[in-house]
Structure 1
Amino acid sequence: MEESPEKAQATRFSHESQLEKATPDATHHVMTGFDTSLESLPDGYFTSSFFIGTMLAAALGLLAGVAGFGYAAPVLAIINADIGPDPNLAWVGLVYTLMLAVFLTLVGRVSDVFGRRWVFAGGSCLGVIGSIICAVAKDIPTLIGGTTVIGIAAATQVSFPIVVGELLPMKYRFYGNALIFIFAIPGSGFGPAVAQGFITHTSVGWRGIYYLLIAINGTAALFWILFYHPPTFHMKHRSGKVMEYVKTFDYVGAFLFILGLLLFLMGLNWGGSTYPWKSAHVIAAIVVGFMLMVAFVLWENFAPASFLKDPLVPMHLFRNGPWVMSTIVLGVGAGMYYAFAIIWPSMVAVLYTNGDPMYASILASLVGLGLLAGEIIGGLLATPLGKTKFQMMFAVLSAGIFFGCVAVCTPDTKALACGLVFMGCFFVGWVENVCLSLTTIALDDQNEIGTGAGVAGSVRAAISTISQTVYVVVLSNRLTSTISSQVPPALVAAGLPASSVVDFLTAITVGTPAAFAAVPGISADITAAGLRAYKVANADAYRTVFLTTIAFSGLALVLSCFVPNVEDRMTDDVAAALHNRNDEKTVGS
């Protein structure tokens, strides 16, 4: 099952020689796992149909992955009104998040061992299946099932840094990821506007979202199958057999990891929303999930070699300081962003749009657009600027300042709020792309690029879920306090009978003129006073959430001081090259 000495030597020689040119102290930074180098690739390799087709497959896959829930999330209430109502609507978003978090690690490790081609092609095929299920759904449980499949597919699709990273020279990885992110703009940047556009301007309504996803996933799958020919299992393991690796796969570790992470994240998502925090459902899910994750770590570290020949997550990854710090900053940075991904859409709907759903969707898109702008520009500038440690310190500090300053915004400062949110998300995007790229660049063995990127993605998801839970709890508690203390007195002072206050608050929830007209004792002046008080109360609650981001920003700033500088790794070495359809020769040779 071991690689031949010739193959092992081929994967070692390249970077050792390159790094000796880059730094006089190469012995401290020796990397392995490279198949070739830029100067060894045939002329026309990067303009070949195989390479361009693979990059397009990765780009379309990312678009489908982020749009798989990005399109549906803003219009879930409309979908629920059409094929519901169903009390389990929240599971539509939950299953997507859970599948993504769990399967990122599995996608990375399985593709490292067995080859990537059919993992990524299969992911897009699953995206087609999940989109079809959702497109024809006649009830919410069917929609949940389809979104589960879409979430599993997305785990392969957002893992594009694995493909891009190993096919490009080390010095081009930041650029490659930045260019792929451009294709996410219609899905993540304009997701709310696209979704609302289907509702407002087409006869197919919300189902049009999934028709579009079928087309995108189908095209991506076709590109993967036609053009993506990375090293096969046989090329990775010359003397190994597939069934030998199937038999020795870490099934125990996979079981502990999947169940543990699922339960832990489910408990966090349930708390305070589906069930009270003190309920048995929440406590049991969090505690049992945490214990299973502890058991997983113990298994990976101490299981006898006779039982564990190929661990799901090699624990030596966590002894790689640069990789660990890049991964944690990636997660904490995402935690800063999620405050606005969750809060901003409801904030603009309440404070700044006066009930216009299309305008609300456009303003809501600022979060995704800001993040993508930072991912693209940050990726393009990362290599020329160098010193990624200082880039991350500056970007985290800037994001924290902009996010914290949103706390000064009121119902009358729409332009200021939009500008601050966009710039905050821009700098988080910068952090996101640089640290995402670093999770592959910082690996000492590039044969583990899938595992390193996959585990980093799962860690990011776990940290983001924790931060999301904090924000939701803070907002819920503050809204209860601010609305109850500010809105009723304002209504009574404006002349509304105290007995009608509850009716007015109910009318706000419904949001229709008929609902307000049915409130006893209502008038235009009272309605205006009540709505103004409601906006101010909401602004006060949002302010607390934005101030809460300072804690995450401070933590991220401290951690960013330990992000690595990687100028010495910006070499011409290439981890893997595409080969022809019917032989093992590099494309173009």
Structure 2
Amino acid sequence: MAASFEEKRVDAGVEVTEHARSEARHVAVHEIPLDLDDPHKAALEDNPEKAEGLTLTTFLAIASLSFSYVCPISCGFVLVTSILVPIGTDLGDTQHISWIVGGWSIASSVSFSLAGAISDVFGRRWTIVAGEIIAIVGSIIACTAQSTLMLAAASTVIGFGCGIIFVSYAGIQELVPNKWRGLLGLTECAMTLPWAAAGTLIATTLNANTAAGWRWCYYIGIIYGVLSMIGTILFYYPPPRPQYDFQKSRWQQIKEVDYIGFLLYTGGLTIFLIGLTWAGTPGHAWKSASVIAPIIVGILTLVACFIYDFTVPQQPFFPLSLFRQVREFTVLLVVVFVAGMVFYSFAGLLPQGSLYMYTSDPIQIGVIALPNGIAQVLCGGIATLFMGKLGHLKLQVIVCLIFQTVFTAAFAGFIPMNRAAWSAFQFFSMGPFALITLLCYVIAGLNVPLRHLGIASGLIGTFRSGGGSVGNAIFNTILNGVVKGQIPKKLAEVAATYNLSADQLAALIPATAENAVGIPGVFASVPGITPAIEQAAAQAYKEAYAHAFRMVFYSSIPFGIIAIACACCIKDSSQYLTNHTAVHMVREGALGKNPGRTHEHANTAPMFEDSKVTHSEDDRSS
């Protein structure tokens, strides 16, 4: 079988420096994988009868990579977003709490693709370690934050580190047989048990029953971050140059990274989201220049980014060759963009809905969110482990998107009275997200050449988090805009019913808002208040939020339809879920040795042949 493979050697006459030669020797006689350019051929031809088992060190490496997500996602996002309003209240500013989510999403969206390109130069290992360090630093800043904006800045740092850590999605896929690529689900198990399973309950309990309150979310993240970083350093030793390009120094490759595209994308997305976030807020009407200008400038900058990337740089931030793989890759970007819109934005919005429409008891808010967390465990942590066994990857994506779209829209029919439906539907609307994401990673990994796997995985992460940023801005803008019009209207109806004066109404509006977040005794400040008026005002407040949330849920439908249509165009790659393994670690842990060739029918050729390497004069003299 090995004879049928294309041999990939360094061409005769290529001058190789001593540094490059020593680096090549470090990967010993490791071979250049056929997957580097043809993953389909590799999957079908290098297909042993039995898949290679994972060594203990490889498993520990995968486990360390998996737990590295607890710090930036489970603690730095999931737990925090479930208690945004209490955090804002504690810091004295609830107006800017959406930027805690927005900053995280923007930063992770930007760093995903940059990290993919950097990992192709410096290798996955040190790139991921750098991301873990950044996430730890961001968590330290967050747990000492004294203002909402400072916390948003810290969240941005954490998100940037998270995007870099996501390089491990490519790293895990490389190390396991194709049919086991659902082992990416281990990352979801680490993120969801117990963090997503009972994230809101954990966060509300920490906030209500510990001296440090919500800051414990970040303390826990720091602990996990340090432990996972140590595990990554000790056990994870992938090939140091994933593109196997030893003809260029790392410095040469770093200089070729598309920094202009990076800046255009970062600037365009940020400016665009600022315009969306400002829209409808005091002093920033939808028709005002302060909203229209940044939206237009942001869109034009993003367009310029893609035009530049498709035409000028040698190593583009958005490679045109990847985007030309429309059914194999590009449509996946649309799918994860929409999935990210729904999940990341509603991760913060649903607990707010529970607070404003059902209960101000933080423990009960956590109980309401339990189906959401259980779904994350089942869909993201367990179902993914069986995706290879089930096959039909395209169909799995379509079904998950249908569930997400239908049940997100269905919330509108049950609020604000039906608490059971509000809780149960979170299982079906939020649960599919993790499975959708990992399916897209696996499909891309089976279709995209190994030399582009880092950047491809980065782009999936970029579009997923970019969707979260856009969704967070759009849905929060809709919610806040509608609420600000509905609350005075609904409470004015209460005032008219009970013949309250203008002064009484002016006092009733802020008192009702404070009562909604659980502050006791606030109605006493309203002249002539009665229990009946209190009850009517509280119900009117719930109705105002219910109307606003309905608009949000309805607005999600068109995006879901677009994603389902794109999913129908995916080219199913289930046939490539074989026993083939792309790469192997170059050593078994910090104290291990280079394992050399690990399977008898190597799918590759030697990286260098001494007889074909032309040495420089300095090399020969040495």
Runs of 4+ that moved beyond 6 A: 36-41
Contact 1:386 1:567 survives alignment (8 Å):
yes
Q: Which residue of 2 aligns with 1:573?
A: 580
Question: Which of 458, 462, 474 pairs up with 2:462?
Answer: 458
Match of 1:403 among 402, 408, 421: 408
CA contact (8 A) 2:166 2:461 kept: no
5+ long unaligned stretches in structure 1: 22-35
Q: Are 1:57 and 1:224, in contact at CA under 8 Å, matched by a contact in 2?
A: yes
- In 1, distance between residues paired with 2:228 and 2:33? 35
**What SS does the aligned partner of 1:71 have?**
helix
Aligned-residue RMSD, C-alpha:
3.0
Note if 1:336 corresponds to 2:345. Answer: no
- Unmatched runs of 5 consecutive residues or more in structure 2: 1-7, 12-29, 600-622
Q: Which residue of structure 2 lines up, in the alignment, with residue 541 of structure 1?
A: 548
Match status 1:436 vs 2:441? yes
The amino acid of 1:232's aligned partner reads P
Q: Are residues 1:290 and 2:299 paired?
A: yes
- Which residue of 2 is the match for residue 314 of structure 1? 319
> Which whole-Å CA distance do the structure 2 matches of 1:248 and 1:137 have between them?
37
1:521 maps to 528
Match for 1:350 among 338, 350, 356?
A: 356
Q: Is residue 249–residue 310 contact of structure 1 (8 Å, CA) maintained in 2?
A: yes
Sort the Cα spacing of 1:9 and 1:339 in 2 relative to 1 into closer, same or farther, 3 A. Answer: closer
Partner of 2:259: 251
Counterpart Cα distance in 2 of 1:213 and 1:9: 37
Change (3 A) 1:236 1:273: farther
Moved more, 160-169 or 116-125: 160-169
Q: Show the 5 A alignment for 1:164-179.
A: 164-173=172-181, 175-179=182-186
User: Which piece of structure 1 moves more, 316-325 or 401-410?
Assistant: 401-410
Is this contact kept in 2: 1:370–1:422, CA < 8 A?
Answer: yes
Shift in alpha-carbon separation, 1:525–1:462, aligned structure 2, 3 A: same
Deviation, 1:320, is 0.4
Deviation at 1:227, TM superposition (A): 0.6
Contact 1:336 1:552 in 2 (8 A): no
Q: Which residue is 1:28 aligned to?
A: none
Per-residue deviation, residues 226-281 of structure 1 (Å, max 9, x unmatched): 11100013982233322222233333333323333333333333333484444444
Q: Alpha carbons of 1:156 and 1:493: their partners in 2 closer, same or farther (altered >3 Å)?
A: same
What residue number does 1:25 align with? none
Q: Is contact 1:37-1:169 (8 Å) kept?
A: no
Query: 2:198–2:374: 8 Å Cα contact kept in structure 1?
Result: yes
Q: Which moved more, 1:509-518 or 1:113-122?
A: 509-518
Q: Quote how far apart the aligned CAs of 1:89 are.
A: 5.3
Number of positions where the alignment pairs a residue of Structure 1 with one of Structure 2: 564
More displaced stretch, 493-502 vs 524-533 = 493-502
Tell me if 1:467 matches 2:475.
Answer: no
Distance 2:430 2:508 in 1: 36
Q: Quick check: 2:243–2:451 contact (8 Å CA) kept in 1?
A: no
* Superimposed CA distance per residue, residues 472-504 of structure 1 (whole angstroms, 9 cap, x where no aligned partner): 333234334443443322343245445412311
TM-aligned CA distance change 1:11 to 1:392, over 3 Å: closer
Shift of the alpha carbon at 1:128?
1.9
Q: Could you tell me which amino acid in structure 1 is paired with residue 582 of structure 2?
A: A
Counterpart residue number, 2:395 = 390
Shift of 1:81: 4.9
Alpha-carbon distance change, 491 to 339 in structure 1, aligned in 2, over 3 angstroms: farther
Which one-letter code corresponds to 1:576 in the other structure?
Answer: V
Partner residue of 1:269 out of 266, 277, 280: 277
**1: CA distance between counterparts of 2:276 and 2:425?**
29
SS of 1:473's equivalent in the other structure is helix
Q: Secondary structure at the match of 1:574?
A: coil
CA contact (8 A) 1:497 1:521 kept: no
Spell out the pairing of 1:468-483 with structure 2 (5 A cutoff): 468-483=472-487
Choose the corresponding residue for 1:505, options 485, 505, 509.
Answer: 509
Aligned equivalents of 2:375, 2:50: Cα separation in 1: 39
1:27 corresponding residue in structure 2? none
Q: Could you tell me which amino acid in structure 2 is paired with residue 456 of structure 1?
A: I
Among residues 207, 210, 213, which one is paired with 1:205 in the alignment?
213
Match of 1:493 in 2: 497
Deviation, 1:222, is 0.3
Q: Is the 8 Å Cα contact of residues 38 and 169 (structure 1) preserved in structure 2?
A: no
Letter in 1 for 2:255: K
Residues 411-446 of structure 1, C-alpha deviations (whole Å, 9 max, x = no match): 331112211222222234432332232232231x12
**Structure 1 residues 290 and 15, CA gap change in structure 2 (3 angstroms):** closer
Corresponding residue to 2:122 among 114, 139, 142: 114
Instruction: Name which of 97, 105, 115 aligns with 2:113.
Output: 105
What's the CA shift string for 1:363-413, capped at 9, x where partnerless? 245434434432234423432332222223332223332222222113331
**Relative to structure 1, is the Cα distance of residues 294 and 125 closer, same or farther in structure 2, using a 3 angstrom cutoff?**
same
How far 1:288 sits from its partner (Å)? Answer: 2.8
Q: Which protein has the bigger helix share?
A: 1
Q: What letter is aligned with 2:116? A: G
TM-score normalized by the length of structure 2: 0.82
- TM-score w.r.t. the length of structure 1 is 0.86
> Could you say what secondary structure the match of 2:212 adopts?
coil
Partner amino acid for 2:330? Answer: V
Once the two structures are TM-superposed, the CA of residue 283 in structure 1 deviates from its matched residue by 3.4
- 8 Å Cα contact 1:327-1:439 kept in structure 2: no
- The alpha-carbon deviation at position 95 of structure 1 amounts to 2.2
Task: Report the CA distance between 1:151 and its aligned residue.
Answer: 1.7
Paired with 2:489 and 2:37, the residues of 1 have a C-alpha distance of 70
> Which residue among 297, 300, 310 is the counterpart of 1:301?
310
Asked if 1:181 is matched to 2:185, the reply is no
* Match for residue 380 of structure 1 among 377, 381, 385: 385
Q: Deviations over 1:126-175 (max 9, x none)?
A: 222222222233445543443332122111234432121111122111x2
Cα deviation, 1:437-483, whole Å, max 9, x if unaligned, reads 2232231x122111001112212233333333332333234334443
Identity of aligned residues (%): 25
Partner amino acid for 1:313?
Answer: F
Q: CA 1:261/1:239 → structure 2, altered by over 3 Å: closer, same or farther?
A: same
- How far is the alpha carbon of 1:103 from its aligned partner? 0.5
Match of 2:164 among 131, 145, 156: 156
Amino acid in structure 1 at the alignment position of 2:570: V
Deviates more, 1:219-228 or 1:420-429: 420-429
CA distance in 2 between counterparts of 1:40 and 1:386 reads 18
User: Could you tell me how far 1:116 is from its partner in structure 2?
Assistant: 0.9
Task: Specify the code of the residue in structure 1 equivalent to 2:491.
Answer: V
Query: Does the Cα contact within 8 Å between 1:300 and 1:313 map onto a contact in 2?
Result: yes
Q: Secondary structure at the match of 1:184?
A: helix
Say whether the 8 Å CA contact 2:83–2:203 is kept in structure 1: yes
- After superposition, the Cα gap between the structure-2 partners of 1:15 and 1:552, relative to the gap in structure 1 and judged at 3 Å, is closer
CA distance in 2, matches of 1:234, 1:377: 29
3-state DSSP of counterpart to 2:557: helix
2:20 equivalent in structure 1: none
1:232 counterpart SS class: coil
Structure 1 stretch 214-223 or stretch 451-460: which is displaced more? 451-460
Q: Which has the higher contact order (CA 8 A, sep 6+)?
A: 2
Q: Give the C-alpha shift of residue 80 in structure 1.
A: 4.5
**CA 137–38 in structure 1, closer or farther in 2 if over 3 Å, else same:** farther
Q: Which amino acid aligns with 1:119?
A: T
